[in-house]
Amino acid sequence: MSRPFVDSTGASGDAGLTSAQQARRTPPPDETRRALTTAATDLPRGRSPRVPSRADIAQPRSEAMPSRAAVQSANRVWRELHHAACAPYRAAGRFAWHFARGKLGHDPVFRALLQRGDVPAQARLLDIGCGQGLLASLLVAAQDVHARGEWPAAWADAPVGVRYTGIDLMARDIARAEQAASQLPGAPRFVQADMCSAELPGSDVVVILDVLHYVDIAAQDAVLARVRDALRPNGRLLLRIGDAADRHRFAASQWVDRIVTLTRGHRVAPTFGRPLEAWIGALQGLGFAVRSVPMSRGTPFANVLLIADSREQRA
Ligand SMILES: C[S@@+](CC[C@H](N)C(=O)[O-])C[C@H]1O[C@@H](n2cnc3c(N)ncnc32)[C@H](O)[C@@H]1O
């Protein structure tokens, strides 16, 4: 079940588009380009990053279809990005490489972050629960593609010059991340730490993808409050959660999570979810302006990306 774009006020719009992109709305053909961008955001399941068919691209009948060339160009760039972002993981072993290929290829959030422009250029980015650091590798690949002048015109601005720090509880993941990062320019930094107690560096963007459910609700709230405090003025939290109100799809994600946790050699512990509305309420209570975008297309999950912007201007 895919939900429409819902912001914290309940207003609906184009799923997958940032508010800046929506603000720039103009009649076709630009509209058409954005429809393509939105649709290609969510990768369907497949063996490798599959090229979306026209049937995957939902748009009103009144709008013209995007050009075939634009579709093909963006998909070609994504295949390049996927290949380049996975390559450093060969140095971290077969598991790390196959995991990178599967995760980057099938999880819609990675491509979405790039084409939506959720990470601004030059951002100091903190990735909490970074796992083996896939986002760091993808950001480096994005910078390379941009430097070659191949960034898709239909996508938002490329996240160039990002200064990346990842933290994760698991030593094994941090070791894989560091092995892969040794192949990368830009010196992404990795720290083994518990998000519940780690010092969080001052950041422009904090990314938390599928992590908070590992700790109870009080601990989740405490992490979110510390993230708010770590964010610079006009900072942004990109938080992906599972919507516990969507019971069956949420349960599916929990089962897959347990299997992946075991496969990665970690202990399976209880998890803690809450409905989308409760997540939004918690973030608003911390002073964030929140938008939500469905982020599980092509998967059986109830995942939602919350884009939470700091409203406070802190010194
Ligand atoms: C489902 S994985 C997601 C990894 C990564 N964010 C991604 O999307 O590819 C969840 C990650 O959260 C990490 N994690 C769980 N509890 C944590 C904690 N208390 N502090 C830091 N990391 C934690 C796990 O070790 C794991 O790498």
Q: For the domain that residue 297 is a member of, what is the CATH number? A: 3.40.50.150
Instruction: Provide the greatest CA pair distance for the chain.
Output: 53
pLDDT at residue 119 in the model: 98
pLDDT at residue 66 in the model: 63
- Cβ–ligand 1 distance for 100 under 6 Å, the answer no
Best residue for ligand 1 mutational test, from 132, 211, 296 (most atoms within 8 Å of Cβ)? 211
- Cβ–ligand 1 distance for 242 under 6 Å, the answer no
Q: Output the tens digit of pLDDT for each of the chain's 315 residues.
A: 333 333 332 233 333 444 444 433 333 333 333 333 333 333 333 334 433 333 333 333 334 566 888 889 999 999 999 999 999 999 999 999 999 999 999 999 999 999 999 999 999 999 999 999 999 999 999 999 999 999 999 999 999 999 999 999 999 999 999 999 987 888 899 999 999 999 999 999 999 999 999 999 999 999 999 999 999 999 999 999 999 999 999 999 888 888 888 887 777 778 899 999 999 999 999 999 999 999 998 899 999 999 999 976 544
pLDDT at residue 105 in the model: 96
C-alpha to C-alpha distance for 37 and 34, rounded to whole angstroms: 5
Closest C-alpha to 124, from 236, 186, 204, 226: 204
Interval between CA 170 and ligand 1 midpoint (Å): 8
Residue 306 and residue 290 in contact, taking contact as beta carbons nearer than 8 Å? yes
Quote the domain boundaries for residue 306: 5-46+65-310
Interval between CA 230 and ligand 1 midpoint (Å): 19
> Would you say residue 149 lies in a domain?
yes
> Would you say residue 258 lies in a domain?
yes
Beta pairing partners, 168: 192
Closest C-alpha to 280, from 313, 254, 307, 251: 307
Closest C-alpha to 227, from 150, 179, 167: 167
Ligand 1 nearest atom to the CA of residue 209, by list position: 6
3 state SS of 124: strand
Domain count of the fold of the chain: 1
> Would you say residue 59 lies in a domain?
no
- Cβ–ligand 1 distance for 211 under 6 Å, the answer yes
pLDDT at residue 180 in the model: 94
pLDDT at residue 58 in the model: 34
Interval between CA 210 and ligand 1 midpoint (Å): 7
> Would you say residue 52 lies in a domain?
no
> Would you say residue 223 lies in a domain?
yes
